[in-house]
Structure 1
Amino acid sequence: MQLIKPLYWVLVATCLAINPLHAAEDQQDDRKEAQQDAPETEGPHGGLLLQQEDATVELQIFEQDVPPEYRAWVTKDGTPVTEDVDLNVQLTRLGGQEDTFDFAFQGDYWLGNGVVTEPHSFDVEVTLALDGKQYQWQWESHEGRTRIAADIAEKAGIRTTEAGPGSIERTLTTYGRLTTASEQIARVRARFPGVITRVNVRLGDRVAKGDRLAQVESNESLKTYDLRSPIDGVVVERQVSVGEIAGEQPLFAIADLTTLWAELQVFPGQRSEVEVDQNVHFKAEGVDQQASVNHLLPSPDNAPYTLARVEVDNPEGALSPGLLVTAEIVVETVEVPLAVDNRALQSFRDWTVVFIQVDDAYEIRPLELGRSDGTLTEVLGGLQAGDRYVVENSYLIKADIEKSGASHDH
């Protein structure tokens, strides 16, 4: 297995604009130092050849059509040894986890008792007891790992969080339009019939309660009186101009648009799962809100759907009636023992991974994933509760590891 001890010159060059050549030289020096005690000779079966005095062990991680497993071939003075061997491999992973493998002879080779789980990145210790003598080999075999100093990580915006339980939401996607409730619209009429002598507002103007909208000269008293807005809102209708006669018809409509209603179409196949008070993730025109289902109403004109009405806050007036909207109605929430933030997930070789952090070291963790709601994803394997993983700017860790040329040779 080729040794890799990547540093962080990609991040340093990108984030701190230092000399990348200097960083690359440092990286090469570190690799050279780390490889001094690493076995480099390849045996006849393609494994690492460990030699000491009269004993030789060829050790291979075999993964062709089987889960990765250790296979070994032991010789003494060039003669294969098939019995009375005590062979042990101990792997110490980033974070302190230890995996131990004992071996039994299988006819052609010695087989380790277990799966060598990914990533194949660890400190290796091999011990062999043969004919009353003890042999030992130790080396570092790291892949998918890099080291980044804390100050560099801070400046690069790399943030971590602790893996733990989470709530996965199952949602239904619905569509609809924004409307204004009738009780939020005030229609202004003349108190007495007369001639409009002045109009103070235009369509779309914002008005406060008590603002003058127009002046009317009464037909009976010939006195002028004011028409004033009864609420804060926006002028959404203006049906009058100077010189026209004001009778019983509405002259203005003022709408309070600080609150709107989303009327979402729930079709028969969805109806059994939708209830009042369920949470709703609402999106429209760049606005992302959390709300809840307030009412379930029959659709107008006997259309084949139910209307789920959702109150939508609109304090800045960014949304307008008639706008098409998308909403995710939360129909089920499942508590899972382990979940990760989706921002942390990266593709690496054939895996989906996160990058765990131990001190200033970062390393891939291939994951077995379960349910997801777009924000959190359930983890079924590959990560432990309490592990710290990179949640922000994880792509920088991926880029650094890939730039270092991390290999998967055994």
Structure 2
Amino acid sequence: MAISNKQKAAIAAIVLVGGVTTGAVLLSGRSAPEEHSEHSETTGHGDNEHHGKQAAQDNHKDDKSHDDGEHHETKKGPNGGALFSRDGYDVEIGTAESKGEARIRVWVNKSGKVVDKGVAVTGQLVRTTGETQSLDFVTSGDAMESKQSIEEPHAFDVSADVTLPGSSTPLPVKLSKEEGKIELTAEQVAKTGLVVLTAGPAKVQAGVQFPGEIRFNEDKTAHVVPRLAGVVESVPANIGQQVKKGQVLAVIASTGLSDQRSELLAAQKRLDLARVTYDREKKLWEEKISAEQDYLIARNVLQESQISVQNAQQKLTAIGASSSSSALNRYELRAPFDGMIVEKHISLGEAVADNANVFTLSDLSSVWVEFVVSAKDLEKVRVGKKASITSASSDVTAEGTVSYVGSLLGEETRTAKARVTLTNPQMGWRPGLFVSVNVFGAEADVAVAIDSEGIQQVDGQSVVFVAVSGGFVAQPVKTGRSNGRAIEIVEGIKPGMRYAASNSFVLKSELGKSSAEHSH
């Protein structure tokens, strides 16, 4: 079909308009629909990194609608803190040591030079436990420094407003610290067996603490002696062995025992003869054959023989020897009661004296805890009062009763001896172990108390692992009165705070693993 000149002109006009439009789009670098929408985010965004000239005119202000967090991770400054910028100023917030205490510092620089005039800073610190602390800042060297020191643990968020020279609108800056935080999920807490409790008021008995030492219970300790001189034939018992009452400890050949057994045998023979003579004389006297005097003499001899036999038997009983044995000189030294052999001074073939201390036997199911009491504390330590015993080398605790308080003070020390009788069924409290003795007084109401298992020692300081979002934080505390089960918290924890009680040593172990990374 033929095309007229008029149609050719119309087609050329359309092609020309399309080419111009395409060139405009390519030169602008954006699509036509986007150009018409004017990129509606720019008004509230103000980010010249993404929105061209309009954002540059806004000077990229970190206002509340933007907070500079949608597109940027917090930068670090030369002092290791969080870095913020505006109007050519660089503002860094971080922590630093000052006079042995941690404080919050704010450094302000412009074009690489320190700005120390016309800068004002106010802020607030919020701990992971929810506690808040207002911060006031003063000039210190090349920075603004908080008047308030920052106590451990360093797990907190700081929000501060920095007023820059010539500006009426403060620049908001933030700092987050998580030192000492142990991150654990709910599943991990359940697997470790941690028991989380809530701190609150309780009744706690006031106590007085003394250093003490575990000693043998002398009422249940015996120094075993042979009571007969002789030569050792065998020693079946060994030191540290648990023995039963009557068990043979050693066998001794004793000439003294041989004499005593011979005496008993002779007395028994004489008794047999006297009994036969008595029976005969009694029968003859009853039949009027012999005189009554012969009967009376026979009866007297019988009675004397009986006394001789009893005397010989009691001599053997007194030394712990049996009246009969395959060998007259065999002496078996036996345990007087159930106990443990804690000392042994006898060996095979040794000649021992009758008063030699050859064994020391002690029943360790009960021990004494001995401690000294000064004159000012005597009123607080009375017989019958309850006491808790804590090992100086472990976290084991036991309870006992004050069984003795000396009535006399030492001339040199001006102290009195006291002791607690402690049951020891598992033999865990061994004589010689150093312990702490806490003698309880009257009960008292305290504002904040926790389970004593929640207290852990970290770097020589008492801490409690407080539950926070996502884990636990080691919170330093000052403790007060305790009854062994509950302990008063004087400072560091408020009522209602949740903390790790049983198995909190797991958290202490985890904290120790990360201690090398701890820095201020």
Report the TM-score range of the alignment, normalised by the length of the smaller protein: 0.5 to 0.7
- 1:39 corresponds to 2:148: no
Give the whole-Å Cα distance in 1 for the aligned partners of 2:388 and 2:479. Answer: 24
- Are the equivalent residues in 1 in contact too, given 2:453–2:504 (CA < 8 A)? no
Which residue pairs with 1:159 in the alignment? 195
- 1:275 corresponds to 2:385: no
Percent of residue pairs bearing the same amino acid type: 23
Larger radius of gyration: 2
The equivalent position to 1:119 in structure 2, one of 127, 139, 153, is: 153
AA matched with 2:499: Y
- Are the equivalent residues in 2 in contact too, given 1:263–1:308 (CA < 8 A)? no
Report how far residue 124 of structure 1 moved.
2.9
- Are the equivalent residues in 2 in contact too, given 1:168–1:378 (CA < 8 A)? no
**CA 1:103 to 1:359, structure 2 compared with 1: closer, same or farther past 3 Å?**
closer
Residue correspondences, number: 313
AA matched with 1:356: V
Give the whole-Å Cα distance in 1 for the aligned partners of 2:373 and 2:170. Answer: 74
AA matched with 2:475: R
Give the whole-Å Cα distance in 1 for the aligned partners of 2:400 and 2:145. Answer: 58
**CA 1:67 to 1:368, structure 2 compared with 1: closer, same or farther past 3 Å?**
farther
Report how far residue 68 of structure 1 moved.
1.8
SS of aligned partner of 2:154: coil
Which residue pairs with 1:214 in the alignment? none
Report how far residue 138 of structure 1 moved.
3.5
SS of aligned partner of 1:384: coil
- Are the equivalent residues in 1 in contact too, given 2:402–2:419 (CA < 8 A)? yes
**CA 1:49 to 1:278, structure 2 compared with 1: closer, same or farther past 3 Å?**
same
SS of aligned partner of 2:501: strand
Report how far residue 99 of structure 1 moved.
2.1
AA matched with 2:160: V
- 1:136 corresponds to 2:172: yes
SS of aligned partner of 2:101: coil
Which residue pairs with 2:304 in the alignment? none
Which residue pairs with 2:458 in the alignment? 347
- 1:292 corresponds to 2:401: yes
AA matched with 1:155: K
Superposed, 1:182-221 pairs within 5 Å as: 203=246
AA matched with 2:474: I
Report how far residue 98 of structure 1 moved.
1.8
Report how far residue 94 of structure 1 moved.
0.9
Which residue pairs with 2:475 in the alignment? 365
AA matched with 1:156: T
**CA 1:149 to 1:61, structure 2 compared with 1: closer, same or farther past 3 Å?**
closer
Give the whole-Å Cα distance in 2 for the aligned partners of 1:357 and 1:393. Answer: 14
- Are the equivalent residues in 2 in contact too, given 1:144–1:406 (CA < 8 A)? no
Report how far residue 289 of structure 1 moved.
6.1
- 1:145 corresponds to 2:181: yes
- Are the equivalent residues in 2 in contact too, given 1:168–1:376 (CA < 8 A)? no
Superposed, 1:215-254 pairs within 5 Å as: none
- Are the equivalent residues in 1 in contact too, given 2:372–2:418 (CA < 8 A)? no
Q: Structure 1: which 5+ runs fail to align?
A: 1-33, 181-201, 205-218, 221-236, 244-253, 300-304
AA matched with 2:163: A
Q: Deviations over 1:11-47 (max 9, x none)?
A: xxxxxxxxxxxxxxxxxxxxxxx9x96534323x565
AA matched with 2:103: E
More helix by percentage: 2
Which residue pairs with 2:117 in the alignment? 82
Superposed, 1:94-113 pairs within 5 Å as: 94-105=128-139, 108-113=142-147
Give the whole-Å Cα distance in 1 for the aligned partners of 2:461 and 2:338. Answer: 52
Which residue pairs with 2:209 in the alignment? 170
Q: Deviations over 1:44-65 (max 9, x none)?
A: x565432234332122322143
More strand by percentage: 1
TM-score, structure 1 as length reference: 0.54
